[in-house]
Amino acid sequence: MTRAGIRALSPSERIHAVREAYIGYTVRVAGRPDPDALRTAFEAVYHAHPQLSARIEATSAGPALAESDVPPEIRFAEGDPGAPLAGIDFDQHRSLSALNVVGDGEETAVCLAVHHSVADAHHATALLSTLWSGYTDTIVGAPLDLPRQPYPRSLEDLLADRGIHPSAPGAPAAAPGPPPALPDPVVRPVVQHRLSPAETTALTDLGHREHVTINGLVSGVILLTEAELRDVPLTDLVHRYSVNLRDRVTPPIGATEGTNVLGGVGFRAPAEVEPDAVALGRAIGTGLRADLADGSVQRSVLDMFSRPAAAKPWDPDLARVTVSIMNWGVIPPMRTPGGLRLTNLHSASRMREPVAIGGYVLNTFGGRIGIDLVWPEDDPTLPARVDALRERLGHLLRAR
């Protein structure tokens, strides 16, 4: 902390402040949750986790995390649950989180929107689980007293404590220049292809038989789909993804102990790999294991800022197409009171970007795999992309 309530953002956090990136973690609910109980639960969560009620302050040394005099927004509205970020007044200089509850009478979207500089998906979904536990306790009349946590630490600090440093010292950081002109925000609601419970079980069984992870199988299907739709060879694609490092270091790191505890990985299909989802998934897994063993995944973000030339997995100039696939993993359990049913979970995003591109987000919620196609609003390629993805997944399960 540089002074009470304030600390500078690290490079791995600052990149999200430049883009004013907010991610929406959205639970779909059958029916209407109780507004007062949700408000009580969210207030308890953001008081316990001060990063949610913080803001970003511009300083002479760059952006810093600071205390805010304005509480996070809590909004209840009638509207389309498929647009869970609609109506939120995002301003990172005022607040880094919000709770948006949008319903249409049949279904409600409860969206926890969190600035990416203070939480990655593993962090934010743990907070979402705490929110629903607090909601349940409020409904049943149980005491709700969450202990206050410290501000989460940066990836750089957490890795340094564990003896993990950049591969080589970097050049001294340049003095901050004037802030760049900001493009308009890009809002990405989600079109989700969700596997049925039977399809999820079949894909899991296939992975066990073939010794390929679910992430590898789905990534292989997506890469084949993108190569087909874009009419390019597989070898022209770079698959970019992140790895949760919390259980990849010693001692392990708690879900909310750090902000963005991620490593970056890039995969490019070798020419000799068969254009098949299982073969691609196996190659992705082999490459990841090798990169974890030599520590390059653990050091990847550190190297990106200390030695930009080492950040090749993140360099879009290496291939004609970069395919971004983020895996949120298995979402923590969401405790709910009787009579309330959570039916699904998906992502949404809002950030300032000069060029709006699409990507994928995977998660497993309620025993079902969801594949979010996170594209800008009204992208004309989405229907064909969803159809092609569905067909390739179906073919994979039928053929095996």
- Where exactly are the structural domains of the chain? 191-328+367-399
Give mean pLDDT, residues 107-121: 98
Report helix, strand or coil for 95: coil
Residues 6+ apart with CB under 8 A from 352: 19, 20, 21, 182, 183, 184, 185, 186
Give mean pLDDT, residues 81-85: 94
* pLDDT, tens digit, 9 for 90 and up, residues 303-341: 988 765 544 554 545 556 899 999 999 999 999 999 899
Give mean pLDDT, residues 200-211: 96
* pLDDT greater than 70 at residue 208: yes
pLDDT at 5: 54
Rounded CA separation 204/215 (Å): 10
Contact between 247 and 230 (Cβ < 8 Å):
no
Q: What is the DSSP string of 141-165?
A: T----PPPPPPPBPHHHHHHHTT--
Give the residue ranges of DSSP H helices in 190-337.
197-210, 214-230, 277-293, 296-306
Band (pLDDT 50/70/90 cuts) for residue 178 is: low
* pLDDT greater than 60 at residue 174: no
pLDDT at 183: 84
pLDDT at 171: 53
* pLDDT, tens digit, 9 for 90 and up, residues 116-127: 999 999 999 999
CATH architecture, domain defined by 191-328+367-399: 2-Layer Sandwich (3.30)
* pLDDT greater than 80 at residue 169: no
Q: Residue 262 region, left (φ>0) first, then alpha (ψ -120 to 50), else beta?
A: beta
Contact between 149 and 49 (Cβ < 8 Å):
yes
Residues 6+ apart with CB under 8 A from 227: 233, 234, 236, 237, 275
Band (pLDDT 50/70/90 cuts) for residue 263 is: very high
* Mean residue pLDDT across the chain: 91
* pLDDT greater than 80 at residue 4: no
Rounded CA separation 261/159 (Å): 9
Contact between 238 and 267 (Cβ < 8 Å):
yes
pLDDT at 3: 41
Q: Smallest Cα–Cα separation from 327: which of 241, 234, 388?
A: 241
Rounded CA separation 302/299 (Å): 5
**pTM metric for this prediction:** 0.93
pLDDT at 314: 47
* pLDDT greater than 70 at residue 131: yes
Q: Between these two residues, 35 and 176, which has the higher pLDDT value?
A: 35
Band (pLDDT 50/70/90 cuts) for residue 187 is: confident
